[in-house]
Chains A and B, each alone.
Chain A
Amino acid sequence: DGGITQSPKYLFRKEGQNVTLSCEQNLNHDAMYWYRQDPGQGLRLIYYSQIVNDFQKGDIAEGYSVSREKKESFPLTVTSAQKNPTAFYLCASSPQGAGAYEQYFGPGTRLTVT
């Protein structure tokens, strides 16, 4: 089945540790996105990539890093520099690099940092 997978579903880390969230898609989409969602708030864009080996900062990129070595994969690293990393992280992809149109989301990863 085509879709986006994110793993793990729940992740717990100690403060000061870097953690990498996985995002894989087999939809052959060019564009991929990372968002975070906090309770009662809308999704905020962390990073996006419209093509392999290229990515751009979103609205809240500080404390995060990404890579796009393969079309199918767009991992997100939450570094120790991120002040409030506990959140729900959503990865998405869309079929056109230049047009967001419908974005397809993965099931998300809930990260808790203590």
Chain B
Amino acid sequence: RKEVEQDPGPFNVPEGATVAFNCTYSNSASQSFFWYRQDCRKEPKLLMSVYSSGNEDGRFTAQLNRASQYISLLIRDSKLSDSATYLCVLTNNAGNMLTFGGGTRLMVKP
């Protein structure tokens, strides 16, 4: 089993739609969780951290379920500019290394 699993997509959605991605992980001792965004042929950039209580940043909401070992990202009112690959990222037991999922590709169409 991969350490971090994501549906590669692509998820094709119309502008204004709500879309959600899930990510499952195998290391129950992982300390911290993040969503990174990667545009085509560019470097990844941190989108948001994920907290156990759930957190929201504008149109983006992230949730962590430690019991089931998954995290989720919800994007409301999708924009064309949201088209990208979303990487699920978590730290190792010691909290000093990152493990990256393969990413979920989102394509928002007009």
Contact = CB atoms under 8 A, between A and B. Distances in A.
Interface stretch (B43-51, B54-62, B63-71, B76-84): B43-51
B100 A100 contact: no
Interface string B7-45: 010000000000000000000000010100000011111
Interface residues of A, number: 23
Contacts of B95: 98-100
Interface range on chain B (Cβ under 8 Å from partner): 20 to 34
B73 interface: no
A86 to B, nearest CB: 15
Contacts of B87: 42-43
19 contacts: A40-B8, A42-B102, A43-B44, A43-B87, A43-B100, A44-B100, A45-B97, A50-B96, A88-B41, A100-B96, A100-B98, A101-B32, A102-B46, A103-B46, A105-B43, A105-B44, A107-B42, A108-B43, A110-B41
Interface of A: 35, 40-45, 48, 50, 88, 90, 97-103, 105-108, 110
Interface of B: 4, 8, 32, 34, 41-46, 87, 91, 95-103
Q: 9 tightest CB-CB pairs across the interface, nearest first?
A: A105-B43, A42-B100, A43-B100, A42-B102, A100-B98, A102-B46, A42-B101, A41-B102, A108-B43
